[in-house]
Amino acid sequence: MKSLVSILLTAASLVVVSLFGLVTLSVFMAFAAILSLSLFARAMMGAPQPQTAKARTNGNGNVKRVWNDGHGMIIDM
């Protein structure tokens, strides 16, 4: 009788450990899928292009240029 209970408890513990392993694997696969989709989307978006320069003159002929090089606004006076 004790050996039968021991076999049943061993089988039940193997089932529980297998279920925990299956849940862990499925969570890992979902995380890997989300991560790969986000990396693919980032690779497809590309880098932002810098804006073109705008030149204006004030009344005395000085040229004022303002542009964005992708790192911030640059103003030449």
Q: One digit per residue, pLDDT tens: the chain, 77 residues?
A: 789 999 999 999 999 999 999 999 999 999 999 999 999 999 998 877 777 766 666 666 666 677 777 777 776 66
Instruction: Give the domain range for residue 75.
Output: 49-77
Residue 56: the pLDDT is 64
Residue 33: the pLDDT is 97
Residue 8: the pLDDT is 95
Examine the domain organization and report whether 33 and 57 are in the same domain: no
Beta pairing partners, 52: none
Examine the domain organization and report whether 2 and 35 are in the same domain: yes
Q: Which two tokens stand for residue 62?
A: 């000085």
Examine the domain organization and report whether 22 and 7 are in the same domain: yes
Spatial distance between the Cα atoms of 22 and 30, rounded to a whole number of angstroms: 12
Examine the domain organization and report whether 39 and 54 are in the same domain: no
Examine the domain organization and report whether 41 and 72 are in the same domain: no
Spatial distance between the Cα atoms of 77 and 67, rounded to a whole number of angstroms: 12
- Answer yes or no: pTM beyond 0.85: no
Count structural domains, the chain.
Answer: 2
Spatial distance between the Cα atoms of 13 and 35, rounded to a whole number of angstroms: 33
Residue 6: the pLDDT is 94
3-state secondary structure (DSSP) of residue 12: helix
